[in-house]
């Protein structure tokens, strides 16, 4: 099994990247500090170094000094924001570097790793003709993630939308974060009142993961002014009162993602 050294600051993005890679590779974890990376590369001799810095801390140029002087034979994948990459891109003009910007799907991370570790194999696969059995998958539908702890709400909203959208369902905030990391929906309908991780906490974690890349509409059964003000204070894309009306919910989604 090929080996990857994953360097970064711990975050939901870093955790998700580690989970994605662990299914395909032997992964070693370490902080994104030059000395730590140098020591771990020397010990584990990885086939690829992945540096995951999702934007909370700037990329340290000292990391690239070590990578370019000591380990110039190992390919490097950067997973970061465009703003963070701008500050260090002059250190990464070698062909062994690849960069992927957040938000990113897990499948894209795996494909990037394959391309850096085994470029000849990937090239061969791309050149092979693709044969489809049965119907070709529909890639045109946009994805809507519905998050609610009530199964009946999930079923009802799905029935309102699944003729036009690919509807993903989650019964908890934790499950919603997993689905977002795997599938990157185009919009999220998020119940504001849920046990354990409520809508407010889930919303903030979504923002930590993907910034404003995914619009979020809160679902709430509360109609009092205090609750509505509390919901809007989080600055979502909007809110929809429960039980949701089919025409309204479709109109709001259409306004956000077309």
Q: Which of 249, 115, 118 is nearest to 189 (CA)?
A: 249
pLDDT of residue 146: 94
For residue 249, the 8-state DSSP code is H
pLDDT-based confidence at residue 169 (cuts at 50, 70, 90): very high
Q: Percentage of residues in the chain with pLDDT exceeding 70?
A: 86
Architecture of domain 3-127: 3-Layer(aba) Sandwich (3.40)
What mean pLDDT is reported for the chain?
81
Q: Which of 69, 27, 33 is nearest to 49 (CA)?
A: 27
Residue 10 reports pLDDT greater than 90: no
> Which has more pLDDT, 231 or 207?
207
> Which has more pLDDT, 127 or 68?
68
Whole-angstrom CA distances from 22 to 16, 43, 152 are: 10, 19, 35
Strand blocks (E) in 44-158: 48-53, 76-80, 97-101, 143-147
* CATH topology agreement for domains 3-127 and 143-257: yes
Residue 123 reports pLDDT greater than 50: no
pLDDT of residue 226: 65
Residue 135 reports pLDDT greater than 50: no
Q: Specify the DSSP element, H or E, that contains 70.
A: helix 61-70
pLDDT of residue 88: 80
**What are the pLDDT digits (tens) for 34-76?**
888 988 998 889 999 999 877 656 677 888 888 888 888 899 9
pLDDT-based confidence at residue 126 (cuts at 50, 70, 90): very low
Lowest mean pLDDT among 157-161, 237-241, 246-250: 237-241
Whole-angstrom CA distances from 73 to 49, 96, 122, 254 are: 11, 8, 20, 49
> For the chain, what are the domain ranges?
3-127, 143-257
Fold assignment, 143-257: Rossmann fold (3.40.50)
Q: How much is the average pLDDT of 114-143?
A: 59
């Amino acid at each position: 099994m090929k080996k990857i050294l994953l360097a970064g600051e711990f975050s939901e993005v870093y955790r998700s990247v580690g989970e994605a890679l662990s299914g395909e590779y032997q992964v070693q974890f370490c902080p994104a500090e030059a000395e730590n990376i140098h020591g771990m590369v020397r010990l584990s001799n990885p086939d690829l170094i992945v540096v995951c810095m999702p934007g909370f801390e700037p990329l340290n140029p000292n990391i690239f000094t070590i990578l370019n002087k000591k380990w110039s034979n190992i390919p490097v994948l950067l997973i970061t924001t465009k703003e963070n990459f701008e500050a260090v891109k002059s250190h990464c003009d070698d062909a062994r570097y690849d960069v992927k910007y957040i938000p990113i799907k897990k499948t894209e991370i795996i494909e990037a790793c394959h391309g850096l570790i085994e470029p000849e194999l990937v090239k061969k696969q791309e050149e092979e003709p693709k044969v489809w059995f049965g119907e070709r998958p529909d890639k045109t539908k946009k994805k809507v993630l519905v998050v609610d702890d009530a199964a009946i709400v999930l079923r009802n909203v799905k029935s309102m939308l699944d003729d036009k959208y690919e509807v993903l369902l989650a019964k908890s905030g934790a499950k919603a974060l997993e689905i977002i990391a795997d599938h990157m929906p185009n919009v999220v309908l998020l119940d504001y009142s849920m046990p354990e991780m409520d809508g407010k906490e889930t919303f903030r974690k979504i923002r930590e993961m993907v910034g404003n890349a995914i619009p979020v509409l809160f679902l709430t059964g509360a109609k009092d002014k205090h609750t509505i003000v509390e919901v809007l204070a989080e600055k979502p894309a909007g809110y929809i009162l429960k039980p949701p009306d089919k025409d309204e919910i479709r109109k709001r989604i259409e306004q956000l993602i077309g």
